[in-house]
Amino acid sequence: MNSAVIASLLAAVPGLMLKTDPADLEHYGRDWTRRWTPAPLAIAFPESAQQVQAIVRWARVEGVAIVPSGGRTGLSGGAVAAHGELVLSLERMAKVLGFDAVDRTLTVQAGTPLEAVHNAAREHELAYPVDFASRGSCSIGGTIATNAGGIRVIRYGNTREWIAGLKVVTGAGDLLELNRSLIKNSSGYDLRHLFIGSEGTLGIVVEATLRLTAPSAPTNVMLLALPSFEALMDVFAILRSHLALEAFEFFTDRALAHVLAHGAQAPFAEVHPYYVVAEFEAADEAQEAAALAAFEACAETGLVSDAVLSSSDAQAAQLWRLREGITESLAAFRPYKNDVSVRVSAMPAFLAEAQALLAAGYPGFEVVWFGHIGDGNLHINVLTPEGMGETEFVARCSEVTDTLADILQRHGGSISAEHGIGLVKKPWLESTRSAEEIAVMRGIRQVLDPSGIMNPGKLFDSRPAA
Amino acid sequence: MNSAVIASLLAAVPGLMLKTDPADLEHYGRDWTRRWTPAPLAIAFPESAQQVQAIVRWARVEGVAIVPSGGRTGLSGGAVAAHGELVLSLERMAKVLGFDAVDRTLTVQAGTPLEAVHNAAREHELAYPVDFASRGSCSIGGTIATNAGGIRVIRYGNTREWIAGLKVVTGAGDLLELNRSLIKNSSGYDLRHLFIGSEGTLGIVVEATLRLTAPSAPTNVMLLALPSFEALMDVFAILRSHLALEAFEFFTDRALAHVLAHGAQAPFAEVHPYYVVAEFEAADEAQEAAALAAFEACAETGLVSDAVLSSSDAQAAQLWRLREGITESLAAFRPYKNDVSVRVSAMPAFLAEAQALLAAGYPGFEVVWFGHIGDGNLHINVLTPEGMGETEFVARCSEVTDTLADILQRHGGSISAEHGIGLVKKPWLESTRSAEEIAVMRGIRQVLDPSGIMNPGKLFDSRPAA
pLDDT, tens digit (0-9, with 9 covering 90-100), for B335-371: 999 999 999 999 989 988 998 998 888 888 899 999 9
What pLDDT is attached to residue B464?
65
What pLDDT is attached to residue A261?
96
| Residue B95: C-alpha distances to residues B49, B99, B120, B168 (Å) | 13, 12, 11, 16
What pLDDT is attached to residue A432?
98
Quote the CA–CA distance of A145 and B390 in Å, as a whole number: 49
Quote the CA–CA distance of A233 and A303 in Å, as a whole number: 10
pLDDT, mean over chain A: 94
Average pLDDT of the residues in B95-100: 98
Give the distance from residue B3's alpha carbon to the nearest chain A alpha carbon, in angstroms: 34
Quote the CA–CA distance of A218 and B243 in Å, as a whole number: 19
- The last residue of a domain, from among A327, A360, A382: A327
Quote the CA–CA distance of A228 and A318 in Å, as a whole number: 24
Residue A401 pLDDT greater than 90, yes or no:
yes
Quick check: B190 and A194 in contact, CB under 8 A? yes
Judged by CB atoms closer than 8 Å, whether chains meet at A434 and B237 is answered as no
Residue B465 pLDDT greater than 70, yes or no:
no
Quote the CA–CA distance of A219 and A213 in Å, as a whole number: 16
Q: Please state the domain count of chain A.
A: 4
Interface A–B counts its CB contacts (< 8 A) at: 231
Q: Which residue, among A443, A454, A185, A189, has the nearest Cα to B438 in the 3D structure?
A: A189
User: pLDDT tens, A351-393?
Assistant: 889 989 988 888 888 999 999 988 999 999 999 999 999 999 9
Quick check: B387 and B396 in contact, CB under 8 A? no
What pLDDT is attached to residue A288?
87
Residue count of chain A, please give it.
Answer: 466
What pLDDT is attached to residue A363?
84
pLDDT band at A284 (very low <50, low <70, confident <90, very high): confident
DSSP state of B455: S
| Residue B374: C-alpha distances to residues A190, A432, B7, B76, B386 (Å) | 21, 38, 52, 23, 34
The domain that holds B105 is classified in CATH as 3.30.465.10
Per cent of chain B over pLDDT 70 is: 99
Do B7 and B85 have their domain in common? yes
**Strand A377-383 relative to strand B377-383, pairing:** unpaired
B418 three-state secondary structure: coil
Average pLDDT of the residues in B117-125: 98
Q: Which residues on B lie below 8 Å from A432 (Cβ)? A: 180, 185, 187-188
Q: Which residue, among A367, A427, A430, has the nearest Cα to A399 in the 3D structure?
A: A427
What pLDDT is attached to residue A464?
64
Which residues 405-434 of chain B have a CB within 8 Å of chain A? Answer: 412-421, 425, 429, 432-434
Do B290 and B275 have their domain in common? yes
Which of A170-174, A364-368, B147-151, B169-173 shows the lowest mean pLDDT across its residues? A364-368
Mutate to test the interface with B, among A103, A182, A184 (most CBs of B within 10 A): A184
Do B243 and B173 have their domain in common? no
CB atoms within 10 A of CB A360: 10
User: pLDDT tens, A324-345?
Assistant: 999 989 988 989 999 999 999 9
Residue B1 pLDDT greater than 70, yes or no:
no
Q: Which residues pair with B380 in a beta bridge?
A: B338, B369
Do A187 and A252 have their domain in common? no
Do B56 and B139 have their domain in common? no
CB-side neighbour CA atoms (13 Å) of B337? 30
Do B140 and B83 have their domain in common? no
| Residue A134: C-alpha distances to residues A131, A411, B187 (Å) | 8, 30, 21
Which of A307-316, B100-109, B201-210 shows the lowest mean pLDDT across its residues? A307-316
What pLDDT is attached to residue A138?
97
* Helix spans in B63-139 (H): 114-123
Q: Of A197, A202, A444, which has the smallest distance from its Cβ to B186's Cβ?
A: A197
Judged by CB atoms closer than 8 Å, whether chains meet at A190 and B174 is answered as no
A61 three-state secondary structure: helix
Q: Which residue of A has its CA nearest to B458?
A: A188
The domain that holds A22 is classified in CATH as 3.30.43.10
Average pLDDT of the residues in A398-421: 96
Do A103 and A207 have their domain in common? yes
Q: A260-285: buried (b, 16+ CB within 10 Å) or exposed (e) per residue?
A: eeeebeebeeeebebbbbbbbbbeee
Residue B390 host element (H or E): helix B390-410
Residue B297 falls inside a structural domain: yes
Quick check: B76 and B30 in contact, CB under 8 A? no
What pLDDT is attached to residue A181?
97
Residue B39 falls inside a structural domain: yes
Residue B174 pLDDT greater than 80, yes or no:
yes
What pLDDT is attached to residue B140?
98
Residue A230 pLDDT greater than 90, yes or no:
no
Do A358 and A294 have their domain in common? no
Q: Which domain holds residue A24?
A: 2-89
What pLDDT is attached to residue A369?
93
Quick check: A84 and A39 in contact, CB under 8 A? yes
Q: Which residues pair with B379 in a beta bridge?
A: B339, B370
Q: Which residue, among A402, A95, A350, has the nearest Cα to A233 in the 3D structure?
A: A350
Average pLDDT of the residues in B110-122: 98
Residue A428 falls inside a structural domain: no
The domain that holds B421 is classified in CATH as 3.30.70.2740
The letter for the amino acid at B96 is V
- The last residue of a domain, from among A61, A89, A117: A89
Average pLDDT of the residues in B180-195: 98
Do B292 and B369 have their domain in common? no
Per cent of chain A over pLDDT 70 is: 99
User: pLDDT tens, B234-291?
Assistant: 999 899 888 999 999 999 999 999 999 999 999 999 999 999 999 999 988 888 898 8
What pLDDT is attached to residue B295?
83
Residue A217 pLDDT greater than 90, yes or no:
no
- The last residue of a domain, from among A89, A115, A136: A89
| Residue A59: C-alpha distances to residues A45, A52, A65, A261, A444 (Å) | 15, 11, 7, 47, 20
Average pLDDT of the residues in A257-286: 94
What pLDDT is attached to residue A1?
58
Residue B409 pLDDT greater than 90, yes or no:
yes
Residue B142 falls inside a structural domain: yes
Quote the CA–CA distance of B278 and B296 in Å, as a whole number: 15
User: pLDDT tens, A53-106?
Assistant: 999 999 999 999 999 999 999 999 999 999 999 999 999 999 999 999 999 999
Do B74 and B172 have their domain in common? no
Contacts of A18 (CB under 8 A, 6+ apart): A6, A9, A10, A42, A43, A44, A45
Q: Of B147, B342, B345, which has the smallest distance from its Cβ to A100's Cβ?
A: B345
DSSP state of A133: G
What is the rounded (10 degree) CA torsion for B366, B372, B373, B375? -140
> Is the ipTM value over 0.85, yes or no?
yes
Quote the CA–CA distance of A224 and A268 in Å, as a whole number: 10
Q: Of A191, A372, A433, which has the smallest distance from its Cβ to B188's Cβ?
A: A433
